[in-house]
A and B are shown apart, each in its own frame.
Chain A
């Protein structure tokens, strides 16, 4: 973000940021992470229910960031990936505890709780989920 933000911004995202809590539409059966506020497939016919997703998945594609945005300068180089959870939804995050050979399409990974970045000099330390090879 770059600017020092207020606490509610982080507070309201506690569930999906700190745990893999998404939701499922009981009308069409699709699972979403992060949770949706409206099923984009059924819209007004949809009915969303909270579900906890499993923490394992696989890498669909990846890159290694070498030129970082504000707040991540000291982390480079760090791998990022799009991960498909075994329960269906796809998400983007960082890969940690990696060796060169772990960075490949199809590699199995699992979620782990990590620090993401610090918001300015005296700002909030942001936490969330990264993924490690299993």
Chain B
């Protein structure tokens, strides 16, 4: 592929009671523009991942809001695929460059979630599931993923402790990440004993409600060296869909959209799974990371729990997963998450991940999911 990332920028992720969506988006975008050493006037298009500003803050038309604030009159497009909005915004930015239309693109994501109370935010997030046939009956996202967890435990013997280990690992990584919402280490016992949200998942199995924004500056690969000595190249991009409702899927323990998106991305990159040095996967709930590591091929189906027992996905393991702290510890401002995942991989491949640095990282992968698996986006990056 012929697209490079030449700049990255984020806000801190967390509860930004003093900042609006507008302020968060501008802060991340400006940081990315400065990092890329481009002038604002060189940007050809903006793609902004945002799931539900209409529900969260009553504001639609947010891409034009951001371009207007940046003083740019270029095309600005909001991209929505629930929690995968950020990953899709990145993909749309890539396609925009590959089409020949644009040379330099700002691909970002932003979400302002804490202006609603918890039940309002829970309701807004359910817009990512089937409104008529899941949300109508009082389902919540924790309960949808809890049903995946229950079935995974039933089919493969995955234990409650193995599931909790995802949160423990990701909180450890988050403790090393300055932008993370949570910088505190936790134990398996704390996960198991925290408030039950949707059996068998507890509060510490769930990613939090977060405000935040993240942005990438993409450019045509042959222009990259003009701006930076350290470009990161996108070598594979795959996206796939499945039914909105979990109950309509072929399997309750495999996300077919992930499998398909990964196949496309691996093929495009001309690599196989063993070539991946590290990955950021969509751990909106602990069980989701276990399912993702299986569906991406890091282990056999049903052995995601064992992978955690072996420590294979820790910072020093065979295939470090969620070195940033993941959605679990960094936080999950839904539209920004997919972009933040790419930023972590860029920092790792540039050798700028500080205490989280994976030694000799050359190829990284991001995996971003919308809803309970109706959308999946996989990207592969190389130095």
The residue that A68 contacts in the complex, of B122, B144, B147, with Cβ under 8 A, is B122
Contact residues of B: prevailing secondary structure: helix
CB nearest to B55 among chain A residues: A2
Say yes or no: A70 contacts B120, CB within 8 Å: yes
- Count A-side interface residues using an 8 Å CB cutoff: 34
Say yes or no: B247 contacts A94, CB within 8 Å: no
Say yes or no: A69 contacts B119, CB within 8 Å: yes
Residues of B contacting A64 with CB < 8 Å?
Answer: 143, 196, 198-199
Whether a CB of chain A sits under 8 angstroms from the CB of B357 is: no
Whether a CB of chain A sits under 8 angstroms from the CB of B123 is: yes
Q: How many A-B residue pairs have CB under 8 A?
A: 104
Contact residues of A: prevailing secondary structure: strand
Say yes or no: B138 contacts A65, CB within 8 Å: yes
Residues of A contacting B139 with CB < 8 Å?
Answer: 65, 80, 92
**With A and B bound together, what is the CA distance between A73 and B123 in angstroms?**
11
Say yes or no: A63 contacts B246, CB within 8 Å: no
The residue that A116 contacts in the complex, of B120, B134, B136, with Cβ under 8 A, is B136
CB nearest to B147 among chain A residues: A61
CB nearest to B139 among chain A residues: A80
Residues of A contacting B126 with CB < 8 Å?
Answer: 69
Residues of A contacting B197 with CB < 8 Å?
Answer: 66-67
Residues of A contacting B247 with CB < 8 Å?
Answer: 82, 90-92
**With A and B bound together, what is the CA distance between A81 and B151 in angstroms?**
11
Say yes or no: B147 contacts A81, CB within 8 Å: yes
The chain B residues found within 8 Å of chain A, CB to CB, are 118-120, 122-123, 126, 131-140, 142-144, 146-148, 150-151, 154, 195-201, 245-248, 252
The chain A residues found within 8 Å of chain B, CB to CB, are 1-2, 13, 34, 60-73, 75, 78, 80-82, 90-94, 105, 116-117, 126, 128, 130
